[in-house]
Amino acid sequence: MNTWAQWAIVAVPGLPTLAFVVLGVWLFAAKAPSERAIARLASATFSIAAIASIVVVWGIITHGERVVPLGTWFHAGSYHFEFGLRVDVLSAAMMALVTLICGLIGRFSVNYLHREAGFARFFLLLFLFATGMLLLVMASGIDQLFVGWELVGLTSALLVGFFFDREGPARAGVRVLATYRIADVGLLVGAVLLHQYAHTADFGQAFAGRWPLGVAHLTPGQADQVALLFLWAAMGKSAQFPLGGWLPHAMEGPTPSSALFYGALSVHAGVYLLLRISPILEQAAFATYIVAMVGLVTALHGALVYRVQTDAKSALAYATVTQVGLIVMEVGLGFYRLAIFHLFGHAVLRTFQLLRAPSALRDALNLQQTLGAAAHPQSKFARWLPPRWRPVVYGLALERFHLDALQDRWLLGPLFSLALWLDQLEQAALRGLVRASKIEARHP
C-alpha cells in the first residue's frame, strides 16, 4: 500500500489524539490557554483530519478497502491484542461523518461557548470523543472497537455533567454512565466470546468476504449468542427500548455536545456495531428477529412520546430515538445499505436541528406571528386510535411510558434495598463484635 495513504489513515484518529494530549498536558501543567489558541488548535486538527479522511475515502473508491496494522499492543499466552485501522465502505462513511461533524461542532462551539468557564474542558473532551469515535469506527478488531466505545461513553457522561454547579447535570451524568456500564457488559462478554469462537478478534479474519456480504465462522447458536450480547450493548449506547430512558436526561449538557452525542454520532455507535457484525447477524436468525423487534418497539415508543414533549430538546431527543429505532429495525431486516444512508441523513439533519434548538423558540414565535393559528399543525395520528384509548395513550406518552419509574422500582430499588440491607446486617454484626452499646454507655 502507498505510504501516503497509510499516513492519511493513521492521521485521521491520530490528530485528535495528539490535540487531546497537547491540551491535557497544557491544562494540567499550566493555566488554561486562551480561547483563540484552543480554537486554532481545534480548527487545525479537524481541518487536517477532514482532508486526510477525504484522501482515505478517495483511496477506498480507487483501490478498495485497506487495513493498516499498527502492531500488537500486548499479549499473554495465545492471546494477542492486535491494534490496527480498517477502512472499508462502512468505516470510511462513518469516518468521514465523524470528522465532518466534529469539525462543524468545534467551529460552532467556539462562538457558542465563548467566555464559558469550561471552554477548554469542552474542547479537551471533544478531542477525546473524536479519538474514541474514530478508533471505534476504524477498529480492525472487536477488542479495539471496545477501546473506542469506552472512550465515547466516558466523554459522553462527562459532557452531560458539563454545567457541574447544578444538581441536574451531575445526576444525569451518573444515569448516562450507569446505563452505558451495564450495557457495556454485553460488548465485553460478546467480544471475548467472538474471540473464543472465531479464534481471532480481527474482523477481516473472523468474517470472510467484503462487508456486508461476509460470512462469520460461527455456528448459528454461537452467532445468536454473540449477536444478542452485542445487541444489548447497542441498546444502551443507541438508547433503544427499554434502555433509552437516559437520552432526555442527557440533554442537560451544552447544545453542541447534545448535537454531537445524541443527534449525530454517539447515539449511532450502537447501530454501527450492529452493521459491523452484519455477517454474524446473517447467521443469527433468532437474534435478527429480536433486533428488528427492539427497533420497532423503540420507534413506536419514541414516536408517541415525541408528540407530547413541550420543550425543543426533549422533542428532538425522542425524534432521534424514533429514527434510530427505525435504523435498528432496518438492520434487523437485513437492509444494511439502506441503514447506512438513513444513519448518514439522520445524523446530519439532527445535528442541524439540535444546533438550531436554542433559536427554535424565536423561530416558533416568528412563525406564529406570520401564520397565526395555522402555525399549529393538527395531528391526524390520534384519529387512528379508538376514542376511549386516546387519553390512556396520551397519559402514558406524557409519562414516557413510566420507563424511568419502572426501572427505578423494579431494578434500582431492589438492588439498592438489598445492598442497604446487607450493609445494615454487617454493621449490626460489627457492633455486636465490639459490644458497642455497652462501651458507649461506659465511655460516653
Partner 1 sequence: MILLRFPWLTLLWTLPLVGSALLPEVAQVRHARRWAMLIAAATFVLGAVLAGLRTFWGQSLVEPAVPLFAGMEYRLFVDGLSALTLPLVGLITTAVLVAGPRQDFDHPALSAILATAGTTLGCFLAADLALLTFFWVAMLVPALRMIARSTDFVARRLMLRTFGVVLVGGALPLLAAVLVLSAGERPYDLLIFAERDLAPHQRPLVFGLLTLTVMIRMAVFPFHAWLPAFFQRGRLGIALLFVCTNAGIYLLGRVGAPIMPHTSQLPLLANLALISAIYGALLALVQRDLLRMLGYLVVSQAGSNIVAFASLTEPSVAGVLLQGIAQGAALSGLTLVIWGLRARLGTTDVLKLGGLATPLPRMAVAFLLFAVGLVGFPGTLAFVADDLLIHGVLEAHPIVATLMVLATALNGITLFRAFTGVFLGPPRGSAALIQDLLPKERWVVAAVVASILGLGLFPSPAVSLREDAVKSIVLRISN
Q: Which is nearer to partner 1, 21 or 37 (CB)?
A: 21
Q: Which is nearer to partner 1, 76 or 373 (CB)?
A: 76
Enumerate residues 6+ apart whose C-beta is below 8 A from 212.
Answer: 90, 275, 278, 279, 336, 337
Give the nearest distance from C-beta 146 to partner 1 in angstroms.
8
Give the nearest distance from C-beta 197 to partner 1 in angstroms.
11
Q: Indicate the burial class of 343 (C-beta count within 10 angstroms; 0-12, 13-18, 19 or more).
A: buried
Q: Which is nearer to partner 1, 60 or 158 (CB)?
A: 158
Q: Which is nearer to partner 1, 2 or 196 (CB)?
A: 196
Give the nearest distance from C-beta 187 to partner 1 in angstroms.
10
Enumerate residues 6+ apart whose C-beta is below 8 A from 84.
Answer: 67, 68, 69, 70, 140, 141, 144, 202
d(CA 40, CA 17) in angstroms, rounded, equals 16
Q: Which is nearer to partner 1, 4 or 416 (CB)?
A: 416
Q: Which is nearer to partner 1, 158 or 316 (CB)?
A: 158
Give the nearest distance from C-beta 263 to partner 1 in angstroms.
24
Give the nearest distance from C-beta 180 to partner 1 in angstroms.
9
Give the nearest distance from C-beta 175 to partner 1 in angstroms.
10
d(CA 402, CA 386) in angstroms, rounded, equals 22
Give the nearest distance from C-beta 118 to partner 1 in angstroms.
10
Q: Indicate the burial class of 160 (C-beta count within 10 angstroms; 0-12, 13-18, 19 or more).
A: buried
Give the nearest distance from C-beta 34 to partner 1 in angstroms.
18
d(CA 305, CA 325) in angstroms, rounded, equals 13
Q: Which is nearer to partner 1, 175 or 350 (CB)?
A: 175
Query: Which positions lie near partner 1, rule CB under 8 A?
Result: 28, 72-79, 81, 143, 146-147, 150-151, 154, 157, 161, 164-167, 169-171, 173-174, 177-178, 181-182, 184-185, 188-189, 192-193, 195-196, 415-416, 418-420, 422-423, 426, 429-430, 433-434, 436, 439-440, 443
Contact 43/106 with Cβ under 8 angstroms?
A: yes
Question: Which DSSP string do the residues of 267-295 spell out, in sequence order?
Answer: HHHHHHHHHHTHHHHHH-HHHHHHHHHHH
Residues belonging to the chain:
444
Give the nearest distance from C-beta 192 to partner 1 in angstroms.
4
Q: Which is nearer to partner 1, 74 or 384 (CB)?
A: 74
Which DSSP helix (H) or strand (E) runs through 84? strand 79-87
Enumerate residues 6+ apart whose C-beta is below 8 A from 364.
Answer: 375
The separation between CA 291 and the C-alpha centre of its own chain, rounded to angstroms, equals 17
Q: Which is nearer to partner 1, 34 or 196 (CB)?
A: 196
